[in-house]
Amino acid sequence: MNQIPITRPVSLDVQITVLHPDKSFAVGVPLRVILGTASDWQSPSAGEEMVTGGDGTVQRTVPVVLASKRREVASHFFARLMASRESTRQVQVAVVMEYAGRLWLSAITVDRRASGASLRLDPMRVYGRASDGRFTDDVPLHDGSWHKRLPSGKMASLPGFVVTQATLDPESPAADNAAWRLRVTLQQWEPHVLSAPITSAAGTAR
């Protein structure tokens, strides 16, 4: 993936909405929001701690550098064979939320095509806390879902929510627009139910 030199910071209006499994507003949900990919973005103290309000949202306006990239945006194999690279503006938002009794950091990258569409070209990444406290314990993605073995030996499906909306838009059509909007909606899963530990042929838990 070729990267064009990044540009100056812009003013980014960030709004994250959290919904219950039934799509009602999730009020009073604590979360930590980290914008961008500065060297400390996986630190347990990175970003800002917030709590969702009566409409299930948290909102802040912050200065952020939007990366400029050229990316293939075709959606399937045969289209990719013919696709030319297209300019996009890109930002990463990471959210730390509790699920299955532990905190997890989920990193979501949103691109804005020069043609005007927002899209997610990269899969979300999910991290647990490593022994040094940083969120660098990569949770593997298999067949479209993330799973992690907890200290109890049980398996947890993660991250505890699905992203139902992610858009990055300029406030106006101006080429040098210095004001942008990021809108992300997360719909929570049902409360976690631990799956049984994997057992060996002898019937002992591993």
In terms of average pLDDT, the best of 3-17, 64-78, 97-111, 182-196 is 97-111
Among 5, 3, 7, 122, residue whose Cα is nearest residue 73: 122
CB 46 within 8 A of CB 39: no
Q: What pLDDT digit, counting tens, does each position of 26-46 carry?
A: 999 999 999 988 889 999 999
Q: What is the mean pLDDT of the chain?
A: 85
Bridge partner list, 118: 112
Rounded CA-CA distance 137/156 in Å is 14
User: What proportion of the chain, given as a percentage, has pLDDT over 70?
Assistant: 82
Whether the predicted model's global pTM rises above the 0.85 cut: no
